[in-house]
Amino acid sequence: MPDIHDPSESSLGHGHTHGAASFNRAFIIGTTLNVAFVIIEVFYGWHAGSLALLADAGHNLSDVAGLLLAWGAQAAGRREPDARYTYGWQRASILAAFTNAVLLLVAMGSLMWEAAHRLHSPVPVEGMTVIVVAAIGVVINGLSAALFMVGRDDDINIRGAFVHMAADALVSLGVVFAGMLYLWQGWAWVDPVTSLAVALVIIAGTWGLLRQSLRLLFDGVPERIDLAAVAASLRSQPGVTEVHDLHVWAMSTTGYALTAHLVMPAGHPGDSALEAIAAVLRRDFSITHSTLQIELASHDHGCHTI
């Protein structure tokens, strides 16, 4: 239950449920599959002389790190608050989402750099080996992405893991395409060109994750929250004539917090009325932690009034 504070009365303490759904099994399976596939790709990529396979292996390795990071952040977010960390370590999931986005962009930048060099000096590859190994990658990465599909819309940390796996599947599919064209026409340049094209697609898809996580790191209003709608909802509550100092931010990738001053000239409405307001915030905006201060008249607190 949200904390509701009133300067004229003692604060009301309530328990909170901040934990997101556990994806431990998904992380275990996804990490194991990708570690095994990295080993396979490195071996056959070197044997076949395929930059696309070797680059994909490097990208998969960064994804293993990304999965471990997201997994660790989810575990850290479940740590109970204490006197030093009063919110616990919930923000770890935001940091993980941001780092995952950066890792993916760096990996794609490296891939594009190597592909550009290979364009100047194309080399022959073993097309069939490339096709078979990359096809295995499509299956493994597709299955890994499916493990995180359920939580990708509600948690950008899980979305980061999903984007990594889905990107891997796309890269592997591009490698299959390059291998088939090489067998058909003998075009050695197809391998680096395909790598460049896939990298650009993934960079475009990752930009949203980077932007969202950066916004949350700076305590910006989460994209899923319409601040004007929150203010309107608070003003519509019985006895509320004005809303001041309204702030909404993310404590984690799944938990939102709010503080606001409510002008109520008739006086304190009672604990049950404030609990009802908190319930509305949870139901309509997924705000799980609310702190509401009651004022009898409007005051200038130096903050923008919504």
CATH of residue 242: 3.30.70.1350
Residues 115 and 195 in one domain: yes
What value does the mean pLDDT of the chain take? 79
Asked whether residue 7 carries a pLDDT value surpassing 50, the answer given is no
Q: Which residues of 22-35 are buried (b: 16+ CB within 10 A; e: fewer)?
A: ebeebbeebbebbe
Asked whether residue 175 carries a pLDDT value surpassing 60, the answer given is yes
Residues 158 and 266 in one domain: no
Give the pLDDT band of residue 107 (cuts 50, 70, 90).
confident
Q: Which of 191, 217, 243 is the last residue of a domain?
A: 217
Residues 50 and 100 in one domain: yes
Q: Which of 170, 185, 217 is the last residue of a domain?
A: 217
For residues 242 and 120, the model is more confident at 242
CATH of residue 151: 1.20.1510.10
Residues 176 and 105 in one domain: yes
Does some domain include residue 277? Answer: yes
For residues 67 and 225, the model is more confident at 225
Please report the pLDDT score of residue 243 as a whole number. 92
Residues 237 and 208 in one domain: no
Give the pLDDT band of residue 221 (cuts 50, 70, 90).
very high
Residue 140 belongs to domain spanning: 24-217
Please report the pLDDT score of residue 293 as a whole number. 92
Residues 145 and 187 in one domain: yes
Does some domain include residue 304? Answer: no
Residues 108 and 150 in one domain: yes
Q: Judging by DSSP bridges, how do beta strands 242-250 and 287-295 pair with one another?
A: unpaired
Please report the pLDDT score of residue 5 as a whole number. 43
Does some domain include residue 155? Answer: yes
Dihedrals phi, psi of 163, to nearest 5 degrees: -60, -40
Residues paired with residue 258 on neighbouring β-strands, in sequence order: 248, 290
Give the pLDDT band of residue 163 (cuts 50, 70, 90).
confident
Give the pLDDT band of residue 287 (cuts 50, 70, 90).
very high
Does some domain include residue 197? Answer: yes
Q: Judging by DSSP bridges, how do beta strands 287-295 and 256-263 pair with one another?
A: parallel
For residues 170 and 264, the model is more confident at 264
Residues 119 and 266 in one domain: no
When pLDDT is averaged across residues 189-199 and rounded to a whole number, the result is: 79
Considering its fold, how many domains does the chain have in total? 2
Does some domain include residue 35? Answer: yes
Please report the pLDDT score of residue 173 as a whole number. 84
Residues 105 and 245 in one domain: no
Does some domain include residue 65? Answer: yes
Give the pLDDT band of residue 11 (cuts 50, 70, 90).
very low
Q: Give me the sheet containing 287-295, strands edge to edge.
A: 242-250, 256-263, 287-295
Give the pLDDT band of residue 10 (cuts 50, 70, 90).
very low
Q: Which of 164, 185, 217 is the last residue of a domain?
A: 217
Residues 38 and 175 in one domain: yes
Does some domain include residue 278? Answer: yes
Does some domain include residue 198? Answer: yes
**CA–CA separation, 289 vs 295, rounded Å?**
20
Residues 258 and 180 in one domain: no
Residues 151 and 258 in one domain: no
Residues with Cβ within 8 Å of residue 304, at least 6 apart in sequence = none
